[in-house]
Amino acid sequence: METCYIETPLGIAKIIGDNNGITSVSILDAQEQLSEVIPESLLDCITQLKAYFKNDLKKFDLKLNPQGTEFQKKVWKQLQTIPYGKTISYLELAKQLGDANTIRAAASANGKNPLWIIVPCHRVIGSDGSLTGYAGGLHRKQWLLNHESEYKQQSLF
């Protein structure tokens, strides 16, 4: 596995992967030394993340290799079907997986998503529209949803 650290508008992102795919993308609260050399196997991921933050990319096209249970992988795959700029509730996610009774398990798998932004767990919100839990912090979830919104806040000055 190869690792690199890049700067994003939300902090330092840690990317782990190899030729079998990207295993993990996470956001760090602690300061980390940025990578001077980018491993070839992670280059496409970094390029696409930078394009996402510049509003030049709405859907990632990467070889992914997350580690998890079969159910978690099923949830993460379903998350990838949520369109850019849209949100769904945890209940809707469970129903899409075929059983509304799996809402807690689906929410738990959502929270264990190892592929920050690429697998868009930030697009899942509470049934009442609230920004419930987010491993990267609710301020980051709000930022990402605003970033993807077609109704961007315009400065009056």
Q: Which residues are catalytic?
A: 121
| Residue position matching structure tokens 């933050």 | 53
CA 114 – CA 82 distance, rounded (Å) = 17
Do the beta carbons of residue 21 and residue 155 sit within 8 Å? no
The DSSP code sequence of 16-55 is EEETTEEEEEEEESS--PPPSS--HHHHHHHHHHHHHHTT
Where do the H-state alpha helices sit in the chain?
Answer: 40-53, 70-79, 90-96, 103-111, 138-148
Total count of residues recorded for the chain: 157
Q: Strands 124-125 and 11-18: what pairing?
A: unpaired
